[in-house]
Amino acid sequence: MNSAHQGLSTPKRSIGIVKAGLKRRQTKEKRFRFYSKLAVMLSLFFLVLLFSTIISRGYSAFWQTYIHLDIRLDAQSLGVDADELEALDETALVQADFAAPIKASLRALFPEATSRGDKRLLYSLASPGAAFDLRQRFVAEPAMIDKRVTLWLPANDSVDIFYKGHIDRALPENERNIKDKQVAWIDKLEKQGRIKQRFNTVFFSAGDSRNPEQAGIWGAVVGSFFTLLVTLSLSFPIGVAAALYLEAFAPQNRWTDLIEVNINNLAAVPSIVFGLLGLAVFINLFGMPRSAPLVGGLVLALMTLPTIIIASRAAIKSVPPSIVEASLGLGASPMQTTFFHTMPLAMPGILTGTIIGMAQALGESAPLLMIGMVAFIVDIPGGVFDPATALPVQIYLWAGSPERAFVERTSAAIMILLGFLILMNALAVVLRKRFERRW
């Protein structure tokens, strides 16, 4: 009886052990799924927090505060000869004091500002660049001479920040960079309808400036364009050619194995190392100009090459061998097979990898800092040899500026950069979905 009882209880014990083990495994799987969902939710939370912080700080940069002034332009107020001014003589335009009519207009609006300190506070309501804007408008419309015109001129950065509500007027005067008298003048201007916010076209059309209200991203965008143009012109053909050779023509030996290992290692090298390489070779050895898109494009091409080679090799390898064998069997040469059969089928994957590599290059700042593209550049570059900066470097420069107005412009520039990166990655996804073939 004992042996029979033991024989019956052994399977029951085994089934119990299996059930207990299965229950523990299911519990672990549920816990793992919970942790996975929690990780995804945390990632989404921090992503939303990042984007909301950037947008909340940067959206106001797309608007700029302007002051409506009645200005009379004449030779006497500008301090130059009338005949030279009417002839738009360059010497007269350089010597003309276009800030004087602006100051006179402000004094007419607030005659109570009589002391030197009050006048200094009053004049600081308008941007230091307002005189340059007035000069540009006069050059474009010489008929303004000896006439009273009404113009919207940009306000100073502290006025702009205050009018947007970024400075609490309830704070004591010594704790804010705008004085009580200036606050009273701004309130009076608002009651008269002489101050308002307008779309900040300067932000999208100007280069860098020491004055936040005059600073724009167009110079950095053009610099990034020329830099990426050089990068694409070099990295795409060289990268695709290297991938074709390694995948279709290179013999399998230790030299090609060494090359493949080095390519994979280069893809993981920190980007600042490529900047040091560019500084040592392109600038110090070959004497190329610093802060030029040509050098920046060369450095970023070196950095992007491993990504393009790896992606291109993967795309070429994904083409079924049967297509290659059929082409060779019908009498095509290896070169014809590669360029007329393999390449067209692998091109969607190659383009996807190239776009992702270019998006990575667009967001890089460390290698560009090493080759001097951190310089203060006001003019818009006209070619790959002109001094320029790039959008990530412009963000870096503005982030280190002490003015409060540069904070919102930094966030706005980050929004523009993220927009470009999202568009490039979306284009890569669309190309992959549109042209990929499943074998």
CB 295, CB 283: distance < 8 Å: yes
**Count of structural domains within the chain:** 3
Residue length of the chain: 439
Kindly state whether residues 231 and 343 are assigned to the same domain: yes
Q: Does some domain include residue 211?
A: no
Query: Mean pLDDT over residues 339-364, rounded?
Result: 89
Residue 10 pLDDT greater than 80, yes or no: no
Query: Mean pLDDT over residues 296-313, rounded?
Result: 93
User: How crowded is residue 362: how many other Cβ atoms within 10 Å of its Cβ?
Assistant: 20
CA dist 410 and 397 (Å) reads 9
CA dist 197 and 201 (Å) reads 12
Query: Mean pLDDT over residues 110-125, rounded?
Result: 91
**Domain containing 183: what range?**
63-205
CA dist 19 and 118 (Å) reads 87
Q: In this predicted model, which residue has the larger pLDDT, 131 or 8?
A: 131
Residue 2 pLDDT greater than 60, yes or no: no
Give the tens place of pLDDT for each residue, 61-115: 999 999 999 988 887 878 777 776 667 677 777 778 888 889 999 999 999 988 9
Q: Does some domain include residue 410?
A: yes
Q: Does some domain include residue 180?
A: yes
- Tell me which of 205, 237, 264 is where a domain ends: 205
Q: Which two tokens stand for residue 9?
A: 């209880």
CA dist 326 and 311 (Å) reads 25
pTM listed for this prediction: 0.85
Q: In this predicted model, which residue has the larger pLDDT, 103 or 145?
A: 103
pLDDT of residue 328: 86
pLDDT of residue 188: 93
Query: Mean pLDDT over residues 323-336, rounded?
Result: 87
Q: Does some domain include residue 351?
A: yes
Kindly state whether residues 68 and 34 are assigned to the same domain: no
Give the tens place of pLDDT for each residue, 253-284: 888 888 888 888 888 888 999 999 999 999 99
- Mean pLDDT value across the chain: 87
Kindly state whether residues 126 and 186 are assigned to the same domain: yes
Residue 5 pLDDT greater than 80, yes or no: no
Kindly state whether residues 318 and 341 are assigned to the same domain: yes
Kindly state whether residues 94 and 54 are assigned to the same domain: no
Residue 56 pLDDT greater than 60, yes or no: yes
The model's confidence at residue 40, banded by pLDDT at 50, 70 and 90, is very high
- Tell me which of 37, 59, 81 is where a domain ends: 59
pLDDT of residue 377: 83
Q: Does some domain include residue 127?
A: yes
Smallest Cα–Cα separation from 240: which of 301, 299, 309? Answer: 309
Residue 223 pLDDT greater than 80, yes or no: yes
Query: Mean pLDDT over residues 300-307, rounded?
Result: 93
Kindly state whether residues 170 and 222 are assigned to the same domain: no
- Tell me which of 40, 59, 78 is where a domain ends: 59
Q: Does some domain include residue 213?
A: no
Kindly state whether residues 313 and 416 are assigned to the same domain: yes
pLDDT of residue 125: 92
Least confident of 45-54, 75-84, 176-185: 75-84
Kindly state whether residues 55 and 72 are assigned to the same domain: no
Q: Does some domain include residue 38?
A: yes
CB 164, CB 63: distance < 8 Å: yes
Residue 439 pLDDT greater than 70, yes or no: no
Sequence-separated contacts (24+) of 200-209 with Cβ below 8 Å: 200/61, 200/62, 200/63, 200/64, 202/64, 202/154, 203/61, 203/62, 203/64, 203/409, 203/412, 207/377, 207/378, 207/379, 207/380, 208/376, 208/377, 208/378, 208/389, 208/394, 208/397, 209/129, 209/378
